[in-house]
A = this chain, B = another copy of it.
Amino acid sequence: MKNIIIASTSTLHGSGYLDYILDEIAIFFKNANTILFIPYARPSGISHTEYTTKVAEAFAKINKNVKGIHEFENPIEAIQNAEAIFTGGGNTFVLTYQLYKNNLIEALQTAVKNGTPYLGTSAGSNICGLTIKTTNDMPIVYPPSFNALAFVPFNINPHYLDPDTNSTHMGETRETRINEFHHYNTPPVIGLREGSWLQVNENSIILKGTLTARIFEYNKAPYEVETGTELNFLK
């Protein structure tokens, strides 16, 4: 019954919030009138209310209402009763901390298993993987675990960036970081470039958008997959 969109980013350079994917979202959320929004990742530290207002403005364009999970007395019940769920980007550690604090990991897993459509962007996509160990974010709070929602049997690296061959900066490239991940962990990692997303159903995980994605498997050279590729072989 799974029904998930895991998007690399909310926003493409030069366009508005969610603009590039709004038509897809309208189809994806076609049976929902009100979307439960999880604003916990707080990009740039904005408040839950500010973030929810921003999301509501975007969803108004496709005639959807938005309600922030922080508006509910009981967030577990909010998830149980949701017609559809959207978790926005921001800081993955802050998001994960707050999900554990409110005891929402299992509630989200159950809802999604039962067919509640789930949309994630950026940090909201990171948590769809097995762990948050391939986030790009700064660890500004200490979550009780790096284990995530495990909607898919691999890890996500959103905002995937190719090495800048002109750079003189000595910090690690994204590929180096993911290779380091594979010295300590075996699950595959999907490097999702901005504008790409995964469409996940019960037995299918398809790469969408115009770009290729980069796949990192343990003990294998990384490789590219074309848009439209079925990725349910990855585990």
Q: Does A233 contact B (CB under 8 A)?
A: no
For A135, the closest partner residue in chain B by CB is B139
Inter-chain contacts of A57 with B (CB < 8 A): none
**What range describes how many residues of A lie at the interface?**
35 or more
A193 to chain B, nearest CB (A): 10
Whether A183 contacts B42 in the complex (CB less than 8 A), given A14-B168, A159-B169, A171-B159, comes out as yes
Assess the A180–B91 pair: CB atoms within 8 A. Answer: yes
Inter-chain contacts of A168 with B (CB < 8 A): 13-14
Q: Does A9 contact B (CB under 8 A)?
A: yes
Assess the B140–A170 pair: CB atoms within 8 A. Answer: no
Assess the B139–A170 pair: CB atoms within 8 A. Answer: no
A90 to chain B, nearest CB (A): 8
Q: Does A184 contact B (CB under 8 A)?
A: yes
Inter-chain contacts of A176 with B (CB < 8 A): 44
Q: Does A142 contact B (CB under 8 A)?
A: yes
For A174, the closest partner residue in chain B by CB is B138
Inter-chain contacts of A138 with B (CB < 8 A): 133-136, 177-178, 180-181
For A8, the closest partner residue in chain B by CB is B170
Inter-chain contacts of A179 with B (CB < 8 A): 44-45
A161 to chain B, nearest CB (A): 6
**Other-chain contact of A169, B93, B141, B161, B170 (Cβ < 8 Å):** B161
A222 to chain B, nearest CB (A): 14
Q: How far is A159 from B133 in the complex, measured between Cα atoms in Å?
A: 21
What are 24 A-B pairs with beta-carbon distances under 8 A? Answer: A10-B170, A42-B180, A43-B180, A44-B176, A44-B179, A45-B179, A45-B180, A45-B183, A94-B184, A135-B139, A136-B138, A138-B178, A138-B181, A139-B139, A139-B146, A140-B181, A140-B183, A140-B185, A142-B145, A142-B146, A159-B169, A159-B171, A161-B171, A169-B194
| Apart from A134-B138, A169-B194, 6 more pairs, CB < 8 Å | A12-B170, A93-B139, A137-B172, A140-B177, A142-B145, A170-B194
Which A residues lie at the B interface, using CB under 8 A?
9-14, 42-45, 90-91, 93-94, 132-142, 145-146, 159, 161, 168-172, 176-185, 194
